[in-house]
Amino acid sequence: MKRALITGANRGIGLAIARGLSDKGCDVLLGSRDLAAGERVASEIGAQAIELDVSNPASIQRAVKDAGPVDILVNNAGILGSGNLLSDPDDFESSLAVMVRGPYLLMHYLTPNMVAQGFGRVVNVSSGWGAFSDGVEGPAAYGVAKAALNALTVASARTLPQTVKVNAMCPGWVRTRMGGAGANRSVEEGADTAIWLATLDGDGPTGGFFRDRKPIDW
């Protein structure tokens, strides 16, 4: 049984990914800043909640210790700022902490065991708003952070062996608290590509960017 850790998984896309991996027989660790909220939904999908604030390195260290070795890591947690990119240094710092530094630290701590055992899957939930091909159009620091997450995906995939696959994906515009009720995709549609990447066969891709299971431009 593969053991999976999903960050920001107490609601929205993260919860849909957790549910999908649980349905596929994975032992799922549902990461949540609010442990009580995580425990409420974890029990519904046969998962285990773990307290994890990806903006806090100390919280990451505790969570990694509590989780133990994992086979699958899904870096899903994200925040969406607003306003002008250069007007709010706090938003910039928070965005980079949640969507770049947090994923980096989790990969730093968790991929050595993946390498040692000859199997690992890392999925970075990114966005077309972080794509240079789309002009890095995300609001405030969001697009910059997602672009950096994409760069981390490419560089880490090059660093790790082929047995540990690292890919980024764009869920599209999804009906979540962040995406809003007017979005055109369900959480299940948004989560599908992440679940696919998390369960790739040995001949699957690494170092790519995907939407609806198809490669897209960075």
148-171 pLDDT tens trace: 999 999 999 999 999 999 999 998
Q: Which of 142, 168, 172, 195 is catalytic?
A: 142
**pLDDT surpasses 90 at 184:** no
Distances, alpha carbon 34 to alpha carbons 49, 154, 184, in Å: 10, 31, 28
**pLDDT surpasses 60 at 51:** yes
Percent of the chain with pLDDT over 70: 94
Please give the pLDDT value at position 174: 61
Query: Kindly report the CA angle at 162 between 200 and 134, in degrees rounded to 5?
Result: 70
Mean pLDDT of the chain: 93
**pLDDT surpasses 60 at 173:** no
Please give the pLDDT value at position 177: 63
pLDDT classification of 186: cutoffs 50, 70, 90:
confident
Please give the pLDDT value at position 125: 97
Q: Cα(56)–Cα(20) distance, rounded to whole angstroms?
A: 27
Please give the pLDDT value at position 181: 66
> Domains in the chain: how many in total?
1
Identify the domain containing residue 182 by its residue range.
3-215
H helix or E strand, kind and range, residue 31: strand 27-32
Among the ranges 5-9, 128-132, 134-138, which has the highest mean pLDDT value? 5-9
- Catalytic residue check, 104: no
Q: What is the mean pLDDT of residues 45-50?
A: 97
Query: Kindly report the CA angle at 148 between 146 and 153, in degrees rounded to 5?
Result: 95
**How do beta strands 72-75 and 209-211 pair?**
unpaired
User: What CATH number does the domain containing 119 carry?
Assistant: 3.40.50.720
Please give the pLDDT value at position 185: 74
Which residues 6+ apart lie within 8 Å of 116 measured at CB? none
